[in-house]
Chain A
Amino acid sequence: MSFLPIPFPTVSPVLASGVHSYASELFKEVGFLGFLTNSVVVALVVLGLVLWFSRKATTNMTLVPHKAQNFLEFVVEFLYGQVVGIVGEKQAKRAFPLLGTVFIYILVSNWFGLFPGVGTIGWGEATGLLSIKAADSPLLRPPTADLNATIGLAVSAFLVWAVLTLREVGVWGFIVHTFGPKGGLKGLMGVAVAVVFLFVGVIELVSIVIRPVTLSIRLFGNIFAGENVLHTMSDLLSAQGPVLSFFGSVALPLPFYFMELLVGLLQAIVFTLLCAVYIQLSTTHDDHGHEEDHH
């Protein structure tokens, strides 16, 4: 295997032999470094970027903001407004750090995957001093195209959801909220409705349990599919000679880069909004029920 720094004039952008459904381990031979995949590398880069920009934006903050501070203020204020609009002012104070992090982390990861070289620079069958036929084991892969990362995100969000929910309504409150009959019916009808709501509660419980699965697979699927689309479009003219191959690998995926920019943003929004909605649904008190109880 040879490492590929890819100088531009050598050949057209090197294409992976195919986008793997998994993140490649960078040090297969070193057992304790098995966790270090190409998506972990990008996750670390994203971490570094976030740390660098956060420090840059919040160092020497002034009431009249400088450029970086202004940009971060815009992002944070916008996100906070959206979160408040969904979960309310009280829960927003608790949930915003997680939801804001989820949004920024997913967005930066998604867009990082669109940088030239991500997924195309790596190890593969050598064809020259600094070139390979295809990057079988890319050096970089967006974390959101790794199921480990998306499940990790979804599980983290699920844990925070559980903590916020139990803090707000308690265990019994959650059970009542999930399984308790609504409508305040008494007698035989009340029993029938209670049975129905018990069944609905079981369905609700199942839907809650599979939320991390749906969240993670949706995100992974979209980004992984995007990687495949870009790869396929880049590879479309690879058999038509070097000139057409070069032209095709640059021009054909270009429109899809814009689409992937949009998809990356949309997926970050979808993941974050769904988490916010889940929190809102389970932390909202059933005031109507209480009112009916009082009556």
Chain B
Amino acid sequence: MISALPIYLAAGKVDQIAEKFGLAWPKFLAQVIIFWIVFAILKKYAFGPILGMLEQRRQRIADGEAKLEKIARDLAEAEKNAKAVLDQANSEAERQIKEAGESARALAEKRQQEAIHEAGQILAKAREAAQLEHEQLMSQLKREFGRMVSDATSRVTGKVLNADDQSRINQETTAQVSL
């Protein structure tokens, strides 16, 4: 009986507190039900869609970042390829220029040689022609000189020279002039 007294007292205190603060099961349950309805509303209409949207946006940003990295990688690769193509084209162009230069030099050399050869031939021909002309002139001069000697001889001697004399005088004169 004595040991149960604190329980009675405590029960009385609880009743007093409950009365003072208006604690009652119906009011308590009403508040709990309203809270859980708010919970259900927020979970269905707020947290679910919003977290889904945030996740979707996060995913989109991550995809964008990944695409951006891929684009950067592709760009670097493309630049590298372009550089390689340019380098190859440059070296090819240099090679072709070098080959063209060498070819041009060889051709020029060839043409020069041909020109020199041709000029030599022209000079030789000219020399030959000059020589021939010189010889013709000399021959003509000799004949003229022989004739003049024959003529002078016939005038000096007063003798009409026959064909044999003239021929002999011409030959002697020519032989003298040649020497």
Contact = CB atoms under 8 A, between A and B. Distances in A.
Interface of A: 20-23, 34-37, 39-40, 43-44, 46-47, 50-51, 54-55, 57-58, 61, 63, 65, 69, 72-73, 76-77, 80, 96-98, 100-101, 104-105, 143, 146-149, 151-153, 155-156, 220
Contacts of A23: 22, 27
Contacts of B34: 40, 43-44, 47, 143
A73 B54 contact: yes
Nearest to B53: A61
Interface string B25-60: 011111110111111011101110111011011001
A81 to B, nearest CB: 10
15 contacts: A21-B21, A22-B20, A37-B27, A50-B42, A65-B53, A76-B47, A97-B47, A146-B31, A148-B30, A149-B31, A151-B23, A152-B32, A153-B35, A155-B32, A220-B21
Interface residues of B, number: 32
Contact of A148 (B24, B45, B57): B24
Nearest to A64: B57
Nearest to B22: A22
Nearest to A31: B26
Interface of B: 20-24, 26-32, 34-39, 41-43, 45-47, 49-51, 53-54, 56-57, 60
Contacts of B53: 61, 63, 65, 69, 73
Contacts of A96: 47
Contacts, number: 127
Given A46-B38, A47-B41, A40 B31 contact: yes
Contacts of B21: 21-22, 147-148, 220
A105 B43 contact: no
Contact of A58 (B30, B49, B57): B49
B43 A101 contact: yes
Contact of A147 (B22, B39, B50): B22
Contacts of A39: 31
A104 B42 CA distance: 9
**Among B22, B23, B38, residue most surrounded by chain A Cβ atoms (within 10 Å):** B38
A139 B27 CA distance: 16
Contacts of A46: 38
Contacts of B45: 51, 54-55, 58
B36 A156 contact: yes
B42 A35 contact: no
Given A143-B31, A148-B24, A50 B43 contact: no
A37 B21 CA distance: 13
A34 B26 CA distance: 7
Given A34-B27, A156-B39, 12 more contacts: A35-B24, A40-B30, A43-B34, A50-B38, A51-B45, A58-B50, A100-B47, A105-B38, A143-B34, A146-B22, A148-B28, A156-B36
B121 to A, nearest CB: 91
Nearest to B29: A35
Given A50-B41, A101-B42, A104-B42, A73 B27 contact: no
Nearest to B32: A152
A105 B35 contact: yes
